[in-house]
């Protein structure tokens, strides 16, 4: 099986809640059968930025992580990357089985 990259945002009281919400929304939109190529395939995340960024900066950084094949997020079976956004949301980035 292959992998697709994803970048998705979500909100929540904390990063755990935002991650769970992003997974649930992706599963609802793309199905529960597995191999969706979305964050629905992820079981965990790793923080890849310490400070909140603007939405545009977070998106640019996420693209950079994908383009440089950052080791923290490059495994389709590994964690997603989490970036805090200064509007109170979270951006998640990574590769997922498809």
pLDDT in tens, 26-35: 999 998 778 8
State the CB neighbour count (10 A cutoff) for residue 60.
12
- pLDDT for 33: 76
- pLDDT for 31: 83
How many Å from the N-terminal Cα to the C-terminal Cα in the chain? 6
- pTM (two decimals): 0.95
Give backbone dihedrals phi and psi of 3, rounded to 5 degrees, phi first. Answer: -145, 150
CA distance 91 to 65: 12
- pLDDT for 32: 77
> By three-state DSSP, how is residue 16 classified?
helix
Reported as a pLDDT band with limits 50, 70 and 90, residue 75 is very high
Reported as a pLDDT band with limits 50, 70 and 90, residue 1 is low
């Amino acid at each position: 099986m292959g992998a697709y990259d994803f970048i998705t945002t979500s909100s929540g009281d904390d990063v755990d809640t935002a991650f769970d919400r992003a997974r649930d929304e992706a599963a609802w939109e793309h199905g529960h059968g597995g191999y969706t190529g979305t964050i629905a395939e992820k079981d965990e995340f790793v923080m890849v930025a310490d400070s909140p960024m603007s939405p545009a900066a977070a998106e640019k950084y996420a693209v950079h992580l994908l383009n440089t094949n950052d080791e923290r997020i490059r495994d389709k079976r590994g964690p997603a990357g989490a970036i805090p956004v200064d509007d109170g949301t979270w951006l998640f980035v990574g590769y997922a089985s498809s």
